[in-house]
Amino acid sequence: MINKNVETALNEQARKEEFSARLYLAMAIWCEVNGYPGAASFLYDHADEERMHQMKIIHYINERGGMAALYELAALKTEFNSLEDIFTQVLAHEEFITNSINELYGLTMAEKDYTTGNFLQWYITEQVEEESTMRTILDKIKLVGKDKAGMFHVDKELEAMAQSNAAGNV
């Protein structure tokens, strides 16, 4: 039977993953209507990944004899200023999520719930990858600045990343 404190904290993490999915969906929509189809594909894909992160937690809680809960989501901002603004927010959000996963892992150790600690290892590794991917994208966007041709290429690269992700290469 899963430890109650850990169950509540996992449900809270599942809420954050659900929020991430919604946030990236809002960003994808903005990109799609503002001339960045590659960034839109990348972010639509990423929204799906976040939903998968949420689902993994839901199934884990239920399998351990707990019960997954759906908590209310915070209101979402749907206006963005630029692609740089979007990926600055994505990176900040991923750093927030990393911190949250680390706190959660700390709780499992304090509660001696080593099984959940083991389950969270996947998330810890995933966050390293997510932060690094988002940081690389943001660096490229900053590098091209206001250069339209450069931005076109960054968008193409994001499209390629989305396709490679869909093919299971990332």
**Using the rule CB under 6 A, which residue among 7, 18, 45, 94 binds ligand OFO?**
94
Cβ neighbours of residue 31 closer than 8 Å, sequence gap 6 or more: 37, 39, 40, 43, 83, 86
Residues 28-40: b if buried by 16+ CB within 10 A, e if exposed: bbbbeeeebebbb
Q: Are 106 and 56 in contact, with CB atoms under 8 Å apart?
A: no
User: Closer to ligand OFO at the Cβ: 17 or 155?
Assistant: 17
Site for ligand OFO contains 17 (CB under 6 A) = yes
Q: Does 133 bind ligand OFO (CB under 6 A)?
A: no
CB of residue 20 to ligand OFO, shortest distance in Å = 4
Q: Any contact of residue 97 with ligand OFO (CB under 6 A)?
A: yes
Binder among 3, 9, 11, 20 for ligand OFO (CB under 6 A)? 20
Q: How far is the CB of 133 from ligand OFO (least distance, A)?
A: 10
Tell me the CA distances in angstroms from 69 to 66, 101, 115, 119, one per residue in order. Answer: 10, 18, 20, 18
Q: Give the tokens for residue 116.
A: 């959940």
Which residues are near ligand OFO by CB under 6 A? 17, 20, 50, 53, 94, 97, 130
